[in-house]
Structure 1
Amino acid sequence: MNSLPVIMAAVIAFAVTAVLGFWLIPFLKKLKYGQTILDIGPVWHKDKQGTPTMGGIMFIIGMVLAILISYLLLASQAGMLSDPAHNLTNVKLVAGLLMALAYGLIGFIDDYIKVVKKRNLGLTATQKLIFQFLTAGAYLLSIYLAGDKSTVVVFPLIGQLDFGFFYYPLMLLLIVFIVNAVNLTDGVDGLATSVTFVSAIGFMIIATLLGFVNASIMSTALAAGCVGFLVWNFHPAKVFMGDTGSLFLGGMLVAVAFALGLPVLLLPVGIIYIVEALSVVLQVISFKTTGKRIFKMSPIHHHFEMGGWSEVKIVGVFSLVQLIGCGIAIACVYFM
């Protein structure tokens, strides 16, 4: 695998994201695009009221530029742009980026309504889901039309299963679930950024093992962009990514997994996202059926906060758990 485009993706994504912070954060403050802290969160989060949000724009610009420049360099050298044999590869990369950007746009609209229009809840849950399912459907349709018509799901070390007609509804649900799970993980300083960095590194190693250069470039840019954002987002955060950033990150993770042809890896590589989302589901079911709560507060990172864990400790422990999930995924791919 040509390592130069991958290195270039890392450098561009990190540099552009980190440097943009010097301009974007003061700009967001000037516009008074500050985060509104809802009463449903921990009381001490009120101290973060007014911290600039929608900072995900920083890494969106950094990652997209890094991926496009690096891949165009590689593709032009290898003749991949004009070679029909690479049509599906090109479509998966471009469609994956467009999907992530579409999710980022949904998040941006939601943030804009919250911050500018002063409607704390932003888009309704129904509106979000409609837009999210349409985005996922458009992505799946694009790669289907490009030639990826397989309904087989590969389970490393286990085997494969043809889901037939049910493949597309299941993939729609998986995509929307993961995107929203990443969004739920964005609750304490640096958490979503850190665990996504770990997931991106895991996907980068898997892409290298399998020789998928497009997925390698995408995952490298994702990892480097997260590091660039952590410069500003680590506790105490100077900026929040907002739904603009978290939904985009979810879309990027999905795009990488599908580029690898292994969407099932989103489960171990994104173990923290799964736990975060399930904690909310279980909390709601328990409260509505029994009137009792399983956790002190959900998503589960707030449960640990209420138990006395610092935000830095939560980020560290959750990132370690994510790392274990990635290790399991890497081992499964290596030995399959």
Structure 2
Amino acid sequence: MNSGMTLILITLVAFAVTALLGFVMIPFLHKLKFGQTILDIGPAWHKKKQGTPTMGGVMFIIGITAAVVIGVSTLWLSPAAQGYLGDPRGNIKLFAGVAMALAFGAVGFLDDYIKVVKHRNLGLTARQKYLMQLVIGVFYLVMLYIAGDRSTAVAVPFFGSLELGPFYYLLAMIIITGFVNAVNLTDGLDGLSSSVTFVYAVIFLVIAGILQFGQASVIAAALAGGTLGFLVWNFYPAKVFMGDTGSLFLGGLVVALAFQVGMPLLLVFAGVVFWCEAFSVIIQVCYFKATHGKRLFKMSPIHHHFEMCGWSEVKIVSVFALVGLLGGALAVWSVLLL
């Protein structure tokens, strides 16, 4: 089996396992009464979603992980795909990226468990969650260092390379924790985070192909298949939510793909929706404090602002996915100019 067929296999495995798990997981989550609690701070019409099963991210966590293992094994064993994965040290980066995503997913699972089972609506405290994320981020950067990724220069799209020295690691930690939480914030409407992440995965499948990073192609193909499989159940009206379990896992893979190809700043373009969501919250909080109670947006994150403006969930998801596609096109363009 050649590399192209293997990538198709990876995508199909991730899609099929994730989609089929819905038939088992959703009734199981209903039986356990793992329903989403809708807080009063959100849009009032979201109350009708009360009780929709959450923690469904387990579905694509299993699907994506299985697809990566099957894909890498197939590439190793197939004579037609010999050499596709390139430098064996790249496999350390691949598995470190998946391990990082699984670790973030575990933090999300703990958060969801506290919310749903222990009936504490806010779950882990922000400090607890961030400290765990810092530890995971440090682990990932250490694994990249072991894999031979020791450059402290960062590629700036359209401008060239910039040497940062020790400040590279500070920037890397900000990117890792920032984007993981940004993906988490994007998960606020039916199908939003999974749709935007699907587009992101497809973009990085193209970028990995251009740069000939076989390991990144494996992750991107699995991520695309898994998010598409989840959309079968998560698109409006959602039958299941991914919860922090799923969104933090997705955030880990989003970050891993950018570091896998050695260009974390591609997230400026390819991850435009994610950082806009995060900055809308930061701007709202700062504006609220500076103006003693006034709001710049009707509600944050920004997707709720558009809801309050009368946009339907389907329209918001469609527009945000399109914005992600346009940002991704800029990312691809910047790579082609290298």
Residues 197 and 250, structure 2, Cα contact 8 Å, conserved in 1: yes
Please give the alpha-carbon distance, in whole angstroms, between the structure 1 residues aligned to 2:136 and 2:81: 27
Partner of 1:55: 56
Please give the alpha-carbon distance, in whole angstroms, between the structure 1 residues aligned to 2:249 and 2:157: 27
**Post-superposition offset of 1:4:** 2.0
Letter in 2 for 1:244: T
Residues 3 and 80, structure 2, Cα contact 8 Å, conserved in 1: no
**1:103-142 correspondence runs (5 A):** 103-142=104-143
Question: How big is each residue's C-alpha offset from its partner over 1:266-297, in whole Å with a ceiling of 9 and x where there is no partner?
Answer: 12101000110000000000111112110000
**Pick aligned residue for 1:318 from 302, 320, 329:** 320
**1:150-165 correspondence runs (5 A):** 150-165=151-166
2:335 corresponds to 1:333: yes
Please give the alpha-carbon distance, in whole angstroms, between the structure 2 residues aligned to 1:78 and 1:261: 28
Unaligned runs of 5+ in 1: none
How many residue pairs get aligned? The number is: 335
2:170 corresponds to 1:166: no
**1:125-274 correspondence runs (5 A):** 125-274=126-275
Question: How big is each residue's C-alpha offset from its partner over 1:106-153, in whole Å with a ceiling of 9 and x where there is no partner?
Answer: 000000000000000000000000000110110001110221111111
Partner of 2:298: 296
Letter in 2 for 1:321: V
| Alignment TM-score, normalising by the size of structure 1 | 0.97
**Secondary structure at 2:162 match in 1:** strand
Please give the alpha-carbon distance, in whole angstroms, between the structure 2 residues aligned to 1:28 and 1:239: 9
Residues 185 and 301, structure 2, Cα contact 8 Å, conserved in 1: yes
Residues 181 and 248, structure 2, Cα contact 8 Å, conserved in 1: yes
Partner of 1:14: 15
Please give the alpha-carbon distance, in whole angstroms, between the structure 2 residues aligned to 1:126 and 1:79: 49
Please give the alpha-carbon distance, in whole angstroms, between the structure 2 residues aligned to 1:126 and 1:191: 26
**Post-superposition offset of 1:80:** 10
Please give the alpha-carbon distance, in whole angstroms, between the structure 2 residues aligned to 1:223 and 1:160: 29
**1:10-89 correspondence runs (5 A):** 10-77=11-78, 86-89=87-90
**Post-superposition offset of 1:55:** 0.3
Please give the alpha-carbon distance, in whole angstroms, between the structure 1 residues aligned to 2:253 and 2:285: 28
**Post-superposition offset of 1:79:** 11
- Relative to 1, partners in 2 of residues 1:149 and 1:79: Cα closer, same or farther, differing over 3 Å? farther
Please give the alpha-carbon distance, in whole angstroms, between the structure 2 residues aligned to 1:225 and 1:100: 14
Residues 11 and 221, structure 2, Cα contact 8 Å, conserved in 1: yes
Question: How big is each residue's C-alpha offset from its partner over 1:175-201, in whole Å with a ceiling of 9 and x where there is no partner?
Answer: 000000000000010000100001111
**Secondary structure at 1:34 match in 2:** coil
Please give the alpha-carbon distance, in whole angstroms, between the structure 1 residues aligned to 2:278 and 2:162: 26
Please give the alpha-carbon distance, in whole angstroms, between the structure 2 residues aligned to 1:22 and 1:201: 26
Please give the alpha-carbon distance, in whole angstroms, between the structure 1 residues aligned to 2:272 and 2:206: 17
**Secondary structure at 2:98 match in 1:** helix
**Post-superposition offset of 1:76:** 3.2
Partner of 1:307: 309
**Secondary structure at 1:236 match in 2:** coil
Please give the alpha-carbon distance, in whole angstroms, between the structure 2 residues aligned to 1:335 and 1:160: 13
Residues 13 and 59, structure 1, Cα contact 8 Å, conserved in 2: yes
Please give the alpha-carbon distance, in whole angstroms, between the structure 2 residues aligned to 1:318 and 1:244: 22
Residues 105 and 245, structure 2, Cα contact 8 Å, conserved in 1: yes
Residues 72 and 218, structure 2, Cα contact 8 Å, conserved in 1: yes
**Secondary structure at 2:155 match in 1:** strand
**Post-superposition offset of 1:81:** 11
Runs of 4+ in 1 over 3 A off after TM superposition: 76-82
Residues 88 and 148, structure 1, Cα contact 8 Å, conserved in 2: no
Query: Which is worse superposed, 206-215 or 114-123?
Result: 206-215
Question: How big is each residue's C-alpha offset from its partner over 1:224-252, in whole Å with a ceiling of 9 and x where there is no partner?
Answer: 11110000000000000000000000000
- Relative to 1, partners in 2 of residues 1:317 and 1:22: Cα closer, same or farther, differing over 3 Å? same
**Secondary structure at 2:40 match in 1:** coil
Give the share of equivalent positions with the same residue, in percent: 58
**Post-superposition offset of 1:87:** 3.3
Please give the alpha-carbon distance, in whole angstroms, between the structure 2 residues aligned to 1:262 and 1:224: 23
**Secondary structure at 2:276 match in 1:** helix
Residues 204 and 220, structure 2, Cα contact 8 Å, conserved in 1: yes
Question: How big is each residue's C-alpha offset from its partner over 1:68-90, in whole Å with a ceiling of 9 and x where there is no partner?
Answer: 110121123369999xx733211
Please give the alpha-carbon distance, in whole angstroms, between the structure 2 residues aligned to 1:277 and 1:246: 14
Letter in 2 for 1:69: I
**Secondary structure at 1:189 match in 2:** coil
